[in-house]
Amino acid sequence: MTSPSASSRKALSKIACNRLQKELVEWQVNPPAGFKHKVTDNLQRWIIEVTGAPGTLYAGETYQLQVDFPEHYPMEAPQVIFVPPAPPHPHIYSNGHICLDILYDSWSPAMTVSSICISLLSMLSSSPAKQRPADNDRYVKNCKNGRSPKETRWWFHDDKV
């Protein structure tokens, strides 16, 4: 699966660059518990390793997140997906797309990569069962050609997980 390739994305604006550098420094000083940022020289795509919290269904398991930043971050949300294999979860599709409102309609420019990570870990930790969303196969089939989850019209119906 591919997301929009690095070459087709527009370079970060000055504001985006500035903010991301600040976030990176803040992350190095105070990383969110359970997350490791894999250092690369690409500010526009972060690869982050997440480890399931102790006492949850995903305890000790590790997964990779891919965070791609748009030109006008933070006015626009980053694209956040799990690099397959994605954790089996009622809101995470097998292609890595995540159904979480803050990544789409409820994004706010005051959020950070760190705050997204904390929300994702909380979402994993509150999972009642390791299972895929009911419409997984249909959704993933519709997402061929590397479509971004930001183009999906999400319907946020479940506020428990």
Residues marked as catalytic: 99
DSSP sequence for 49-118: EEEBPTTSTTBT-EEEEEEE--TTTTTSPPEEEEESSPPPBTTB-TTSBB--GGGTTT--TT--HHHHHH
Tell me how far, at minimum, the Cβ of 150 lies from other proteins, in Å: 14
Give CA 100 to chain center in angstroms: 9
Closer by beta carbon to other proteins, 134 or else 159: 159
Tell me how far, at minimum, the Cβ of 16 lies from other proteins, in Å: 9
Tell me how far, at minimum, the Cβ of 18 lies from other proteins, in Å: 4
Closer by beta carbon to other proteins, 62 or else 106: 106
Comparing CA positions, the residue from 99, 101, 146 lying closest to residue 2 is: 146
Residues near other proteins, by CB under 8 A: 14-15, 18-19, 22-23, 72, 74-76, 106, 108-110
Closer by beta carbon to other proteins, 57 or else 111: 111
Does residue 130 contact residue 57 with C-beta atoms inside 8 Å? yes
